[in-house]
Amino acid sequence: MECREIFDRGLKFHHYCNTAYPLRPNSLAKYEVHGAEAVSDLIRENISQQKELCLYVHVPFCQARCRFCEYVVLDGPEEGDQERYVDHLLMEIEMYRGIIGDKPIVGYDLGGGTPSYLSTDQLKRITDAIDRFQLQDGIYKSVETTPVIAAKDPDKIRAIREMGYNRISMGFQTVSEKLLQSLGREGSRSIYEQAVDNVRKAGFDRLNIDLMYGFLNQSDEDFANTIRYTIALGPEFITLYRNRYKGTKLEAESQGVTLYKVNRQYDIAYRLLREAGYIANNGKNTFSRLEGDMGTSSYLTKRVIDATSYVGFGLGAQSFVGNYLAYNLGCADHKLQKYFAALEKGEFPINDIADMPLEEVRAKAISVMFYFGFISMKAYRARFGEDFRDVYRAQIDYLQKNSLMEFVDEDTFMLTDYGAAHLYGIIPLFYSDRSIDEMFQMSDRWLNDKKGEEIYLEKYDRKQFDAPSVAVDLIVLSQDSSKILLITRAEHPFVNHLALPGGFYRPGDESLEAAASRELLEETSVPLQITEKDLVKVTSNKNRDPRGWVISVAYRVFVDEHAVRPIANSDAIRASWYELKDLKKDDLAFDHYDIIRYGMSR
């Protein structure tokens, strides 16, 4: 299959084509290993081949399950569940310690759920068990908490610091109390400020705050305010998490959130954070104000850059070691009893484990590498014993030709700014053939632009624009009039349809011709001065745009198609030349087909 086809479909299916691989829980069923003995042999064989490892401990308890949560979480546990859980978690850790032995441990995270939901004594028992591994000097032992616990239980936060944890992460997600309420999450500015104060008093000098974006009900203004407020609190690190929808209580809203909105909100955060001195290459999620510090935990940094194998302990935890990918019991049903029962029988508490072929192992590792927005040639060779350039020659050629990625030095293949906005089309280029087929099959069933438009319009604020609004549209023709420059829309309405380059006129700030020139540059990167003599048509039909009454002012220009290289920006997925004779009315947004035909007749 051609790279362009895969890239285009990944952009359309962007809620699924992210750094999480594979696409669905049973994607790797054909590679699964069954039977306690076979599972044990596979685990032992792969761990024995690793020079170093990372460890992750999962605590599945929370005060309540947030509506955006995709993880294994038990809200409202019964009395005694925490203690029984820790008892069995320590059994699992000891089973693996006998296999891992004295291998160097180069990263460790205590995550969840909410680890600090446990008692101080329970946290100490877990930490003591992990400390018996060969943790390397200089690693950041990272732990997660909630702002509510950090604000209300400073003694616990102090105790966690005394246990040796030297990096702490809190999820604010947003400072919009209205949005927090709709997401089923407690929070307020007073809680956040008290939480940060208590974290500092406990002695933490590496504080990360998680923020989320890409919600249907989240305005750009709310998100920008959240970024500014968080910056003012002075954490060393700020991590942006896009709401991924898959497997959450909000999944039904996902088609109302376009890639354009996701990219627009990331760009808002990127600009504000960079202005405040937080550094990250475009496409990276974690921003750091400490020079030379990636901002992420040692566990995540080693996982992402070096594809270091990791073992996950706890209910539903994931492990990716050598060639196997495993999920613990509880990943599907979020129940404790089967996890407990397996450990009491002396068996690994595995729900499913896949012995993956090389192309699946590569796809998993590379998908995660894009969390930082680049791929290290040295790290890839160390992990797979082969040259990345040899294996992915076609993908590299496509990405470079389309200005999506570039080699910034001999080792680093990095997203361009343009590529960062198109990440979800890039990642699938490195999927296995099986996963590419799966992506097309899933998206054929799932994608429904009309349904997404309905969800979007329910929340659309018509008051953003005067009635009527005025838009400018550009009929950009090749000099022989055989081809036309069109964009593929990234935003509702008519998402994924072809359209004339154009957008809304800003009254008071510019002329219509200036607006037309601006929109052409923003959406296609083609610099051209539009003048009054280029005007060909004004269309005022009130039903031409489902958002409301929008008048179109259309301009026509001729350019040398070989002298310009259109590159999509702003709210366009793609900008390309199309044969006029091949255009079909149903492929075009709004009434643009009729506008084009009128423009050709003049």
For residue 32, tell me if it sits in a domain.
Answer: no
Structure tokens at 312: 């996950």
> pLDDT tens-digit profile of 102-132?
999 999 999 988 899 999 999 999 999 999 9
Q: What is the reported pLDDT for 246?
A: 56
Which pLDDT score is estimated for 258? 87
361 pLDDT more than 70: yes
Q: Which of 334, 369, 404 is the last residue of a domain?
A: 369
> Does residue 155 sit in the same domain as residue 290?
yes
Confidence grade of residue 255 (pLDDT, cut at 50, 70, 90): confident
Going by C-beta distance under 8 Å and a sequence separation of 6 or more, which residues neighbour residue 421? Answer: 263, 267, 569
Residue 62: predicted pLDDT? 78
Residue 154 sits in the same domain as residue 135: no
Residue-number span of the structural domain to which 156 is assigned: 142-296
Q: Is residue 36 part of a domain?
A: no
The predicted structure's pLDDT at residue 183:
47
pLDDT band at 47 (very low <50, low <70, confident <90, very high): very high
- Does the pLDDT value for residue 488 go beyond 70? yes
Q: Please give the average per-residue pLDDT across 2-6, as a whole number.
A: 97
Residues 516 and 432 in one domain: no
| Six token digits for residue 434 | 């099986």
Say if 374 falls within a structural domain: no
Kindly indicate the confidence band of residue 247, based on its pLDDT and cuts at 50, 70 and 90.
Answer: low
Residue 571 is predicted with a pLDDT of 77
Q: Quick one: what percent of the chain has pLDDT higher than 70?
A: 93
Is 82:121 a contact under the CB 8 Å cutoff?
no
Contact between 18 and 259 (Cβ < 8 Å): no
Identify whether residues 157 and 200 lie together within a single domain.
Answer: yes
pLDDT tens-place string over residues 565-583? 888 877 788 999 999 999 9
Mean per-residue pLDDT over the chain, rounded = 91
What confidence score (pLDDT) does residue 65 get? 56
List the one residue out of 123, 58, 139 whose CA is nearest residue 319. Answer: 58
Residues 6+ apart with CB under 8 A from 312: 55, 56, 57, 58, 318, 319, 328
Number of domains in the chain: 4
Residue 37 lies in a domain: no
pLDDT digits over 205-245, tens only?
999 999 988 888 788 888 999 999 999 999 999 999 887 65
Is 90 exceeded by the pLDDT of residue 59? yes
| Strand-pair category, 104-112 with 237-242 | unpaired
The count of C-alpha atoms lying within 13 angstroms of the C-alpha of 602, restricted to the half-sphere facing its C-beta, is: 17
**What is this structure's pTM?**
0.83
Query: Is residue 109 assigned to a domain?
Result: yes
Taking the C-alpha atoms of residue 20 and residue 304, their distance in angstroms, rounded to an integer, is: 12
* Beta-ladder partners of 353: 326
Amino acid in the structure at residue 357: P
Q: Is 244 contained in some domain?
A: yes
Last residue of a domain, one of 369, 393, 418: 369
Specify if 156 maps to a domain. yes
Same structural domain, 536 and 413: no
Within this chain, do residues 336 and 394 fall inside the same structural domain, yes or no? Answer: no
Closest CA to 266 of 237, 287, 290, 293: 287
Q: Considering 455, 472, 494, which residue would you say is the last residue of a domain?
A: 455
- Mean local confidence (pLDDT), 526-543: 93
